[in-house]
Amino acid sequence: MTLTGRALDSTHLKAIYLNDGHTDFKVQILDQGSGSVRFRVPAKTPAGRMHFGVVPANREDVVDQPVFLKVLPALGVSLV
Query: CB 76: neighbour CB atoms within 10 A?
Result: 5
pTM for this one?
A: 0.85
- For each of the domains in the chain, give its residue range(s) and CATH number, in order of start: 2-71 (2.60.40)
Cβ-based neighbours of 56, under 8 Å, separated by 6 or more: 12, 13, 14, 63
The pLDDT, as a whole number, for residue 9 is 95
Contact 38, 1 (CB under 8 A): yes
State in Å, rounded, how far the first CA of the chain is from the last one.
28
pLDDT digits (tens, 9 = 90+) for 19-43: 999 999 999 999 999 999 999 998 8
